[in-house]
Structure 1
Amino acid sequence: MSPEDAEAELIRYAHRTTVGIRAAPGAADDQLWGSGVLVAPGWVLTCAHLFIPGTGETHGLGPGEEIGVVLSSRREPVRARVAYCPRPPFRADVALVRLSEEIPDQPCAWLGDRSLAYPERAAVLGRLAHPEGGGTGAAAIQLVSVPGGMVGVAQTIGTEVPKLEKGMSGGPVLDRDRGEVVGITKGRYRDRPGGGAVPLTGLRMLTRQDAVFPDPGLGDDPYDELIRRHDRWHWKRQSRPGATWVDYQRHLRHAGPRLWHVQHRLKAMHLLAGLPPAASPAEVERLVYDALGMRDRPEGSLLVHSWRDGLGEIYQENYAEFRGAVHYLKLVAAAVLADDSGHVVARRLASWAREELAMELRAEDRDPSEPGGRVPTSLLVSIEPLYYSADGTGPSDTFNWSIWRGYGDGEWRSVTGDQRAGGVSFEAATRAVLERLGDPLLAADAASGAEGPVRLEVALPPDRLADPVHTWRLPVSRRRGARLRPAAGRRPVVVRDATRADGLDPNLDRRWVKMLNSHRLQPVHVTPQHARLDELESLDGHAVPVLCHAPGARTAEGPLVDWLLDTGFPVAFWRTDGHPEGPCHRGCEIFLADAARAIEQSPADPRALPERLRALRAGGISPHSLGGCGVLLYEDPSNPLPRGFVNPLETA
């Protein structure tokens, strides 16, 4: 089955899980209040505001009061009750509805496990509310693009579509590439296209105190019990005849030739659902950090609750994701067996992870400690922008930061970071990085052995790519109170584009391959006056842009740096103090000449440029020299940035 066919079939399947929410059958009010999604046998996830609309009245929350749920398989609404619904102000706009009867062959949607979801293509599903009533509602599916990420408990579901229709609130938001529900529609904008949505992390905030009536059926921990029922249902459904959600999901684009594939995740979640609950969210968080090899643990930065949530935090490049998942499952099994050595499911999980999955790991990775046989080649600092504020009111000026040890070929191991939903200012992120960077950088140097000091890579938002990160002052030893010296004193230092975290850019790949196959590299002086998109795109594969102007200088078509990044140049030089406008001066001549000498040296290999810049800096610097004020953009597409901590869905 092609990815396109699988996506179309999965959207049809997801539509069968989408329901309408209205008053009970026979009520005078037969208008739809909104939509919902079937997530476990007998359970519907929807928005709390459907039942507390803010008008002073409530729907379905009175003693013994029933509501109606419209299923695609039934002509008439099914009776149900609102089981869990937080009261305003909502921690998260989510509610659970319990059907009053069993529905044979009821389908269930697949709920994603990531706390940070960033679908670029989504399907927004719901049922339309007709002005004349009728109580069932027509199907509604919107295919949208989602530019950005998720923060806190709000997200945007796209503005490149017609207005979302009335009645779609509470319906599922489906990631079309990964094949999983990542949120529910919160509402539509009244004055423009698109709308807002609530990510699935909101479901983790439901507690027993949100019960509408005594003993609704999910015990002391409604989220944990609901997600266990969800995972067990999908596991059992997979063994029965007929196409399943997972059958379509495994053929989607994202599935591809991944080591940690959909069937692995299905079985892992089934086994995790059979374990006793974690003692606390802190225990889940600790095991995630252990599995990822993180030493400096920013406690409370992960919004995890269940064992399943921990597995959802391990999203990296192909092999790194597989390795992290295997180690996490082994650690979870060990934690449960430490309390109950005879627990049957924990033993099964341990056996599967240790005797089957671990067989696919490299020899040096069969223990979750530091990878013994591999040598780190770089340390990455990433300061990633949060595109929208946590309250969803507008653009954000806050950031998350993280530090990673790199082994090449897109393989990264987390060291530390701060991924709080609200983020911090750029200045606070930089201070936090400098407070924590020295020890892991020196440790990576020690692990690299004879290879010498590792390269420092700093991923920044485009408007900060001229920051003089090579002048960061870092300790020269791991001794307390050690002297400080510039980061570039002994090692190559380069910058990278933090917004290129998906690792997919055909322009970048094409130019990199041409550079590697070229017999020469040629410096090209690029100025705002002459920088046009068509001219940049037409530059030969061996061209290396050199800027004496500030990267943020305005061209006729926008900031100069944006055009350089969009046209996929993997390497470029610019100044930390580039002039914003006006003619060039003597300092520009010095800088351009230095850059030309570095670029035109033999061999003609872009991979040699970081070391050449380091050598220039070590040989003495002057204010206008490449070594003194130069910055090297260095994007090797064979070593993409890690995806473990990237921009979440854009906030509403």
Structure 2
Amino acid sequence: MTSDGDGGAEGGHGGSDAALLGLVEDATVRIHRPAPGYAPDEPGGKAPAGEPGEFLGSGFFIAPSWILTCAHVAMRGEGGVVNVMFRGDRYSDALTEVPGKVVVALPGTRPPGTSGWPAPDLALIQLRRPAEHACVYVAERSGALLNRTDIRCVGWVESPGGGLKLFNGTYGANGSYGAADDVDQVVLLDNGWVQPGMSGGPVIDFARGEVVGVVKSRLDGQQGGTAVGIERLRTLEVPSTPIETETDDIYQSVFHAHDRYHADRHNSAVGTERTWTDVQSERPVPPGGVLGPRLRAALLGRLAELPPPASTRSLLALLDGLPGVYSRYHRSAPRGWRDGLGVLYETGVRDRQARFEVIVRYCMGVLTADRPCGQLSVTNAKELWGWVKQIADVELPRGLRRQLDMEWAGIRLRLEQNRQQADRTPVSEPVLHGDRDSVVLHVELQGWAPEQYDWRVTVDRQASGAEPIDMDGRGAPLGTVPDRLAAALAEAFRRCDEPGSPAMLHVVVAPKLFGLPVDEWVLPSNGLRLGAVRPVVLRSSYREPADEQPVRRDAGGGPRAGLHAEVVDCEDDLRVRVPDVTRLRTLVHDTVPVLCRYGGRPDSDTAAGVVRLIDAGFEAALLQRRPAEADTVCREFHRRVTEAVSDARTPDRLPWKIHELRRGVGEGRTEMFWSDSIALYYADPDRALPDSGQFLEAP
């Protein structure tokens, strides 16, 4: 056993052991009570500076913005609210503190008259605002914790010198209390001391390199304690109402996000640090069965893009139809596609070719499964088929490959027919916000005074044009502009808003100021971010398409089949130059270009790329203002922004779609955190900017 949180385990794997331990420690968190005076509903959800509240225990990030811990740790927070402290920047030892909300606990309460929290004693905490952090890799196998002799546990404990430090110890899993199908089953840890504060921390199968359980308790006055297997999360309650989206089922939402996170990092070419998949490939017993860590990571990422199984029963039926598979011996029962894959590692088939055939057959069954939770997209189906084809070409005989090709042809034909039918579905009446009064904010850099800005606020009356509200041409530092114009904006909104229908805010700035976070400004009148209250869009003071050329629209003027997002400044997580205007104009109509690498204060080349988008005549464009490091993995952003644009269907709906996302971020909806700091340029073709005069110049 070692208590040195900075070192690796001793043994023959040296750097691999240290790398694995580092990956676990980066994702292990401290859980505290909220500090005195903390108000979780304040904008941004930030805790006050100073000492954190009482230390409650440990936990770990199981997926982006999701923490797994013990119920007896999480439920000690006030009203289910805790503060989570973790390493948010891998280049710094400083800890980030973010509020979290207990979303679910198993069980939800402690029965009266009991001293400890009964098993499974698990809880999921959701961060209340976006934050960068690492995540552990969680085993997809049932019973992965049982009878393991190479177990490592990590958690935060009190240091002999004061304060809290990470602790890691070596243990053995020596039997269990309760049968395999007993919800109260816990696994006995022995051969080491479990320290106070480790409850909720991860239990790692060190030979395979994956998290298999959660530390539950310690034995008073002697070595050892108990842990709960990670598969007990499968006992989370299945929603009683129809599941329409992935986020309707917490279990599916968390593990789909988990698998996409690890697949994105495995598939990305940026960065030099070893990923979980890299380290697992170096372990004594690489996980994934015949697949190994790399093929498994790629497959799980593709499965996580698909709607989940209709039910556990339907998943069991699929597994039972495969040769040599005994799914009903697995406890808790498999619930998601990843769980089904874990079952396949323990089939009665031993021949290599036959084992690959079982996995491939499972994937084909996934492609044809019932889907109450949304339709299977052609793109995602092609991605999974591409993985199957890759395996079949190397591992399976020609006759079976031909059969698989024929099956895929039938699947693809059905998917294409479904898509064509969906495209023919008429879009409901457009939003047509152009017939509403709106508010226009101009912010402009003074030409004679660096870093000094003028501003003016007007109401754009649909019937009568511009109505000036207030202006300031004396110049002010950019950071003071929000406070100076807050009263003017509040007055303008009062003149335009209707009950349940807030007016849109058009922010007119030069392209190099498109990073101005106006949607994050907070007005004293309501204490809420502007973007969460109303649609906020960018307009260009440089030029807009209507000034010199037609907006890019379908020549026929018929109903639109839908919008299509195109990331134009990033390929394979690497920044690229925005194409020239001629190339941009070749993109299909109803394309919404996306700038993934715009940042907060862009360089001259990035700003010039925005100008090229405007010159190309695009009606709308999306920009990510959050700064990106050279090794930032941005595939989740690409994935989600594509979905959001497709959901909007028409450009005039985009401002409302972005408004919905901003409101969701403010409400702590994890599935929308990807959109934090996104900005929308929208040159409304039906609403030219009003001419309300020039700024006053200083005498």
TM-score, with normalisation over the residues of structure 1?
0.48
TM-score, with normalisation over the residues of structure 2?
0.45
Q: Which has the higher contact order (CA 8 A, sep 6+)?
A: 1
